[in-house]
Amino acid sequence: MLRTGRKKGGCGGVGFALINSNITSELAYQISQDSFFLKFFLKCNQNCLKNAGNPRDMRRFQVVVSTTVSVEGHVLAVSDNMFVHNNSKHGRRARRLDPSEGTPSYLEHAAPCIKAISPSEGWTTGGATVIIIGDNFFDGLQVIFGTMLVWSELSLE
């Protein structure tokens, strides 16, 4: 189980702490957004090894996306187990935008825009087909009704 706590982020980024209840190690990570996808860069602040055994098992974590601050809320997505190390060779630096370099490609994409939904109303029990018409949709875009993530398919007709 992971508990989350908000921390003040450095360099203008959003900072969080993930704590694995099996160990006392704390992880700090930076979140960046590239064209509607979130990337997490995690770094172990302490040596996670507590005793003899496989140290890799002690440093496996998951990222959980929820509709509430509490992990006990409705979970939208859970990542695969990730191995986190403190090897400085693999460190990442936060990207800073330089106006002289022009607009980065990941900021050039326009946000998805819904133009119409058909049917405009229906039963909440599920099982119905809903067609969403709009602009700037891309493969991998997900649809959520309320707090329910639903299966979706992109058609370029």
| Closest-CA residue to 81 (of 20, 38, 24, 15) | 20
Residue 1 has pLDDT above 60, yes or no: no
Contact 131, 157 (CB under 8 A): no
Q: What does the pLDDT look like over 75-105, one tens digit per residue?
A: 777 777 776 665 545 444 445 556 666 655 5
pLDDT of residue 104: 55
Contact 129, 118 (CB under 8 A): no
Q: What does the pLDDT look like over 65-81, one tens digit per residue?
A: 777 776 676 777 777 77
Domains in the chain: boundaries: 2-90, 110-150
Q: What does the pLDDT look like over 53-68, one tens digit per residue?
A: 555 555 667 777 777 7
- Average confidence score pLDDT of the chain: 63
CATH node for 110-150:
2.60.40.10
